[in-house]
Amino acid sequence: MKYFCKGCGICINFCPKKVLDWDKDFKVFAKNPDECIACYLCELMCPDFAIFIEKEK
């Protein structure tokens, strides 16, 4: 995720559960991954295809 992320913050803004946040390098990371509801909004809205959601089995 971090390699392609340009730090636009779109995924952070669209996440309904506020799972994502900025790291010290202003890249996005999953701050609260257990709160993710796998709505895929972050993945769908990312203009750089830098984030992928995988549901746990």
The percentage of residues in the chain with a pLDDT greater than 70, rounded to a whole number, is: 95
Q: What is the pTM of this model?
A: 0.83
CA-nearest of 52, 34, 46 to 6 is: 46
**33 phi and psi angles, rounded to 5 deg:** -60, -30
pLDDT average, residue stretch 26-51 = 93
d(CA 5, CA 29): 10
Which residues have C-beta within 8 Å of that of residue 29, sequence separation ≥ 6? Answer: 1, 2, 20, 21, 22, 23
Quote the radius of gyration of the chain (alpha carbons, Å): 10
15-24 residue pLDDT tens = 999 999 998 8
**Domain spanning 1-52, CATH class:** alpha beta
Confidence of residue 36 (pLDDT cuts 50, 70, 90): very high
At 3 the pLDDT is: 73
